[in-house]
Amino acid sequence: MSDALADALAALRRAAATPGFFEMIAAFTRDLTAADAVLLSRGTERRATTGSVPDLLVQTAAGAEAAGTPRVDGDGTITTLAVPCLGGALGVALRIANPMHAALTRERLQMLAAVATLSGSEAARAAAAIIGVALPPALAEADPARALHVAAAAIAAMLPARRVAIGAFRAGRLVHMGVSDAADIARASEEARRIAEALGAARDGLPGAAVASGDIALLAEDAAPGLPLAAIAAGLAPLAAARARHRRLGLRPWHAATAAGIALALSIVIPREAELVAPFVLAAREKHVITAPFDALLDEARLEPGDPVVANETILARLNTREATLELSGARARAASDRREADIARARGQPGAEMVAALAAERAEAQIALLEDRIARATIRAPIDGVILAGDLRRSLGQPMTRGQTMFEVARPDALRAEVLVLDADAARLAADARVTLAPAANPGRRITARIERIHPLAEQVQGRNVIRAIAQIEDADATGLRAGMEGQARIAAGPGSWAGWLFGDLVRAVRARFWL
């Protein structure tokens, strides 16, 4: 921005006394003020940058030209501002957003008018050159005091002068000061007080080494005589505007109280959907717990949590079957022997002995079936497609497993649900089928939509707080990056509400609970 402004000012200086000088001033004014219409008038001569110029702008420019002072007029929607310029007037028509906007526009017009008027003489050309170099980098500074220092340093280098000081005033009081040879001068020092007194005297119209123009005062120490210091000070008007943009608004207490009252009234009137904020944890919707089928030693276990498994194919573990195999061999031998005895008794015509032998054979065969089933179940396979959630038995090889002991937990990774822990104080506003937005702690910027599926009827204690557990079904088809056990914050829609309820709801409930209201 500063380079563009410097180029425009340089072009304006070079175009002085040329036929296109009027049009260049008008175009620069339009770009700097973002005006809807720009008018340059001198007596009966009028030039505009738009096809149509409001009559109000023509009247405002004529009044400023006749009176020789800035003039501001408005009709409720369009504001017109005009300042004396080149023996005539320079005016703009635009929509003013606030008083600050109007002040900035007027100061920019005055700066342009000063630069244009100064371009008519050699001294004015020198002043315009100095302003064109010093002003753009100063306007690029956000800090007002730093902007004044940058401008003072540039002016001191071009004059030349031992020291240049610039002061910005508000309501007759020096509010910011910049010195060319010190980026940050202590305002309480004796030297700073001396410079401030000289700038203040110039601002008050008293004779001295400093000169003033509007809210800007300029002091050039040990500079060559005959320099256009007053013209330079006039050209620094945008620095006062920059200072105004960055200063704090001087709000009075009743302004703050009025603003707070209006904000409170609007927060009550403007609707906002009420919501409950509660922690949640992701859990598997379908989880299979694999336990030891019988007492035995653990022979093999190679998998660990996170490993994928395939239903009826992936082997999770193997139990020792040595004793069962030996018992199976004995049972088969007994069954064969009992069957032979039953056949011999039948051949001898001994029905009683045949029946006893047949029953013994059946008992042995039942034991065979039991042992074969135990040996088959000793190889534990995954019951579903999914991943292992829990169970790492690689360090438990050779250790006894007790019947019913949990060995593995297997679940489908894409079948998740959210368990939302809502405070019991908010249970009355919790409803089934309510919309839920989940924000995982691992990725706070991600939003997952869900819906309350069911609400547990009993409260429970979690980390010392009474909560109601609500189960939410995740509706997002994309479950990438989600894992069982992940936590985060959930926002549950709780019907119509207001901004006041959102801001002060917790405070009101705390007061009511404290004082039994």
Task: Give 478-493 pLDDT, tens digit per residue.
Answer: 777 788 889 999 999 8
Strand partners, 213: 216
Token code pair at residue 256? 């703050």
The C-alpha angle 80, 84, 86, rounded to 5 degrees, equals 130
- Residue 163 pLDDT > 80, yes or no? yes
Element (H, E) at 341: helix 322-347
Q: Is the pLDDT of residue 44 over 70?
A: no
First-residue to last-residue Cα distance in the chain = 60
pLDDT at 430 over 80: yes
Comparing 15-24, 128-137, 242-251, 480-489, which segment has the lowest mean pLDDT? 242-251
User: Does the pTM of the predicted model rise above 0.85?
Assistant: no
pLDDT tens digits, 431-455: 888 999 999 998 888 999 999 999 9
Selection from 14-23, 241-250, 484-493 with the highest mean pLDDT:
484-493
User: What pLDDT, on the 0 to 100 scale, is given for residue 488?
Assistant: 93
Q: What percent of the chain has pLDDT over 90?
A: 21
- How confident is the prediction for the chain on average, in pLDDT? 81
- Among residues 491, 421, 430, the alpha carbon closest in space to that of 463 is found at 421
**Cβ contacts of 464 within 8 Å, gap of 6 or more:** none
The residue type of 122 is E
Question: Residue 254 pLDDT > 60, yes or no?
Answer: no
Asked if residue 210 lies in contact with residue 219, where contact means CB atoms within 8 angstroms, the answer is: yes
pLDDT bucket at 246, cuts 50 / 70 / 90: very low
What pLDDT is attached to residue 58? 85
Q: Give the orientation angle of helix 122-139 with respect to helix 99-118, to 10 degrees.
A: 140
Distance CA 4, CA 10 (A): 10
Write down the pLDDT at residue 251: 46
Dihedral sign of CA atoms 15, 19, 23, 25 in order: positive
